[in-house]
């Protein structure tokens, strides 16, 4: 899946990938993302090697 959309939200500092993912999902739902799009990003974050890599995924799908 090639998602080019970005979620408008602020990534909190000193937050692990799972806590950040929870916040990101809420913002994505509010902004009309489909379940498939959200699931795709969730899978990428969960499959990331570590917190830093997971947070990079979320940063990619975050816009200002």
Locate 30 and state its tokens.
């509010």
**Is 4 part of a structural domain of the chain?**
no
Indicate the pTM of the whole model. 0.91
63 beta partners: 8
Residues 6+ away with beta carbon under 8 Å from 54:
17, 18, 20, 21, 45, 46, 48
Per-residue pLDDT, averaged over 35-63, amounts to: 96
Phi, psi of 17 (to 5 degrees): -65, -35
- 46 part of a folded domain: yes
Q: Let me know if residue 47 belongs to a domain.
A: yes
* Confidence at 62, pLDDT banded by 50, 70, 90: very high
Number of domains in the chain: 1
Does 3 map to a domain? no
Query: Is 34 part of a structural domain of the chain?
Result: yes
In a domain, 19, yes or no: yes
Whether 21 is in a domain gets the answer yes
- Asked if residue 7 belongs to a domain, the reply is no
pLDDT at 12: 86
Which residue segment(s) compose the domain that 23 sits in? 12-63
């Amino acid at each position: 899946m090639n998602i080019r959309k970005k979620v408008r939200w602020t990534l909190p500092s000193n937050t692990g990938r799972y806590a950040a993912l929870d916040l990101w999902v809420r913002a994505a739902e509010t902004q009309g993302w489909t379940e498939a799009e959200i699931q795709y990003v969730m899978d990428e974050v969960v499959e990331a090697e570590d917190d830093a890599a997971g947070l990079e995924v979320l940063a990619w799908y975050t816009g200002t």
